[in-house]
Chains A and B, each alone.
Chain A
Amino acid sequence: AQRVTQPEKLLSVFKGAPVELKCNYSYSGSPELFWYVQYSRQRLQLLLRHISRESIKGFTADLNKGETSFHLKKPFAQEEDSAMYYCALGYNTDKLIFGTGTRLQVFP
């Protein structure tokens, strides 16, 4: 069965420090991976998807099929990056399964 694991509930860093939010997945098919973000008092929204290989707000994520990982990275964290981050796996063409989320706190 498909599964998404985010091992860290909370990640705290200082402004300017590098950030890596971990995500591992289990899926027998060809995976489509996403990162969603929920800022305080805002809706959950798509941050980026692996297929587009883009950088959004300085964040990047590379799909590593060998390690079944899709870690989210940013070289220099900003205070406005503080939010809840969810890794998600698309399956059966129309559904997402979400990880349990990682709260990122960026201190000044």
Chain B
Amino acid sequence: NAGVTQTPKFRVLKTGQSMTLLCAQDMNHEYMYWYRQDPGMGLRLIHYSVGEGTTAKGEVPDGYNVSRLKKQNFLLGLESAAPSQTSVYFCASGLAGLSSYEQYFGPGTRLTVT
């Protein structure tokens, strides 16, 4: 099993460009999450999903959109990138129910917006 994979690993964007980050998991997990990690700020939740076809806002959702069309995939979109979105993005997945706090993380995507 590959676990949680993220595509791409690195990306450089110019201000105003758009892109989509792909997260895929092969563990049949119900829940999926997108975080951003910035120096000195830990991980902050952007959006999450508790099942196929559902999405919800996290702590810092502005400037991002997400979709969960298939259970195994969770896409994070930036419609018009800004330098403030320079960060490392992590995807995670987890089981529903009592174990939902145990999350399995991807390797991260390092995004730079110039």
State in angstroms the CA–CA spacing of A41 and B38 once bound together. 17
Q: Which residues of B contact A101 (CB under 8 A)?
A: 42
Which residue from A6, A43, A46, A94 sits with its C-beta under 8 Å from B100? A94
State in angstroms the CA–CA spacing of A46 and B44 once bound together. 17
Known contacts A94-B31, A98-B43: does B90 contact A44 (CB below 8 Å)? yes
Which residue from B40, B41, B42, B48 sits with its C-beta under 8 Å from A94? B48
Q: What count of chain A residues pass the 8 Å CB interface test?
A: 22
Q: What count of chain B residues pass the 8 Å CB interface test?
A: 27
Q: Which residues of A contact B34 (CB under 8 A)?
A: none
Quick check: A100 and B42 within 8 Å, CB to CB?
yes
State in angstroms the CA–CA spacing of A81 and B101 once bound together. 23
Determine how close the nearest CB of chain B comes to the CB of A48; give it in whole angstroms.
Answer: 11
15 contacts between A and B (CB under 8 A): A9-B40, A43-B106, A43-B107, A43-B108, A46-B103, A86-B42, A88-B101, A94-B50, A94-B96, A94-B101, A95-B33, A96-B45, A97-B45, A100-B41, A100-B42
Of all A-B residue pairs in the complex, the 8 with the closest CB atoms, nearest first, are: A90-B101, A100-B42, A44-B105, A98-B43, A98-B42, A94-B100, A43-B105, A46-B102
